[in-house]
Amino acid sequence: MEILWWSTLFFFFIFKASTLKIITPGDFIKDGGETLESENGTFEMGFFSPGNSNNRYVGIWYKFSNTTVVWVANREAPVSDNNGVLSFDNNGILTLFNETNSVVWYTNPNTSRTPHEPVLQLFDSGNLVVKEKNEDVSKNFFWESFDFPSDNLLPGMKIGINLITGFEYYISSWKSSDDPSQGQYSLRIDPHGHPQVVLKKGSETVYRAGSWDGHYLSARKPDDNPIPLYSYNFVINENEIYFKSELKNSSFISRYTMDPSGLMQRFIWNQMKNEWQVFSTAQADGCSTYGLCGSYASCKSGRFPLYSCLEGFKPKSSMSTSDGCSRTTELGCSGDGFLKQRRLALPDTSKSWANGSMNLKECEEFCVKKCACTAYANLDVTKGSGCLVWLDELIDITEFSQDVQPLYIRLPISELDKIQRKMEKKKAVIIAISIIVPMGSMVTLFLLYKLKKNLSNKGKTKEKMEMQIFDFATIANATNNFSSNNKLGQGGFGNVYKGMLKEGKEIAVKRLSKDSGQGFDEFKNEVTLIVKLQHRNLVKLFGCCIKGDERMLIYEYLPNKSLDNFIFGS
């Protein structure tokens, strides 16, 4: 009997310590290693202690990264020891008890229907659901954790508002890495005006992702729109408003997380490196702070200063950039027009009005008739349809470097005329520059070519004009003192001698008659002229020798009497 009792106890311990795939009424999970696992093993639910805390919580985490907790059940009511028990009853209620058997946390069904065969199951999406045993249609679930997000927005999870019940689902930061209770920051839908996604610190908006423009959230950077890994859905109807994203490829693992400081980042799991990597950051630049530049001013990251008044507006104050801008000329209601801006993100839509059935022309006509209207745009850029009008000052405007959805800003006709003249003048300058710069470049290139050519010619001339002045002793020594044996011939202007310089170069020396009557300068000018005029195919003149009345020309020596022909003729 005792052996049977120990066997039963051992079997009970092994069974309870094993990982469960589904929980039915009467089952429970005790703190101490018992967990519920999703079908494919991606997610796991059980007890944990965050950071350096000793408090115990029921949470869901990635099984391959058990420090990455994505959902906490009792985030506002921790269990102080390891004696917590999570039970599941016949009514489909999930209840957490502490060591005194007091209720710490429990689920509240979202329907009055009574389940027949309720089960608790952790889906591969990370969604913990209470449902009928054979029911997988989400709208028929009795309860699901995706309706109560913590600090992670998982694919398939939505943020929004149930307009019938007023229930709101949003993600919120932890207070700290040791405390998962709700912190200061929350990402939610602002339903005022045209609904938009905003980050709040308490009740104050600190960041705006924007409203849905048919493509993505309109206040985001164009290069972030959209992330190709995801498909997006923004629903606005009489029952609810919500935004959610789905992974296009289920082989990817991704999460969107808000840390205790409110920083929002999208992480992708790198299976090769076995680590999480940051894929994108919401507050990635200096323009992410809501309303940083005030009304009617745009903020452009990388520009100094960051803010700039929109065209037709002037700074309210030179002392503070956050004061924004005011109109240069006030509106007159009638006789106003619109300036088309293509590089501005859509402003805050909390004080706007939208109509999905109107076209852009009808939208303009509506805005013209309504004096409070300050701007308008298409509601859906993918279809070029719908009407969105702003009924107050334009605020929180980011300026991009590339074109985005057009925004039409209301201005007096007088301001539009000024802007038009300014644009025409700017256009004329651009055209002039586009003509002058290429022509100037061509002229510059031509002048550089001519300069290079002239320098080259000067170099060649210098090379041609280089002439050596030999001393008399050198020439006398080279010709054996003008020996008759070295004499090659004679003519009317004097005798010609063959010579050999010390370096072995053979020369021919034409010794001019002393009665030629040429002075030093005349002779030198004549020799210079010969150097300038000599052709590359003619015998080369090396130089000359001048001493007293002596005048000699030094040529290169050509054998076979060719020099004779050159000097004396045929």
Any known ligand binding at 510?
A: yes
210's tokens: 């924007």
CB 510 within 8 A of CB 555: yes
How many other CB atoms are there within 10 angstroms of residue 49's CB atom? 16
Residue 167 and residue 388: Cα distance in Å, rounded?
27
Reading across the β-sheet that carries 307-309, which strands appear in turn?
A: 307-309, 297-299, 397-398
Q: CB-based contacts of 501: which residues, under 8 Å, 6+ apart?
A: 474, 478, 507
**Which residue type sits at 445?**
L
| Residue for token pair 């000052």 | 393
* Strand bridging mode 307-309 / 407-412: unpaired
DSSP track, 111-126: SSPPPSSEEEEE-TTS
Q: What is the largest CA-CA distance in the chain?
A: 155
C-alpha atoms less than 13 angstroms from C-alpha of 337 in its C-beta half-sphere: 11
Report which of 320, 334, 260 is spatially closest to residue 292, judged by C-alpha positions: 320
CB 476 within 8 A of CB 482: yes
Residue 480 and residue 474: Cα distance in Å, rounded?
10
C-alpha atoms less than 13 angstroms from C-alpha of 546 in its C-beta half-sphere: 13
Residue 376 and residue 388: Cα distance in Å, rounded?
6
Residue 365 and residue 376: Cα distance in Å, rounded?
10
Q: CB-based contacts of 405: which residues, under 8 Å, 6+ apart?
A: 213, 218, 346, 377, 378, 381
> Hey, which residues does 500 pair with through a beta bridge?
506
CB 379 within 8 A of CB 214: yes
- Residue 231 φ then ψ, to 5°: -115, 150
CA dist list (Å): 419 to 91, 400, 403: 69, 20, 19
How many other CB atoms are there within 10 angstroms of residue 403's CB atom? 10
Residue 29 and residue 158: Cα distance in Å, rounded?
28
Kindly tell me the sign of the dihedral angle through the C-alpha atoms of 177, 181, 183, 189.
positive
Residue 194 and residue 190: Cα distance in Å, rounded?
8
Q: Which residue numbers belong to the known binding site?
A: 510
Q: Which residue numbers belong to the known binding site for ATP?
A: 510
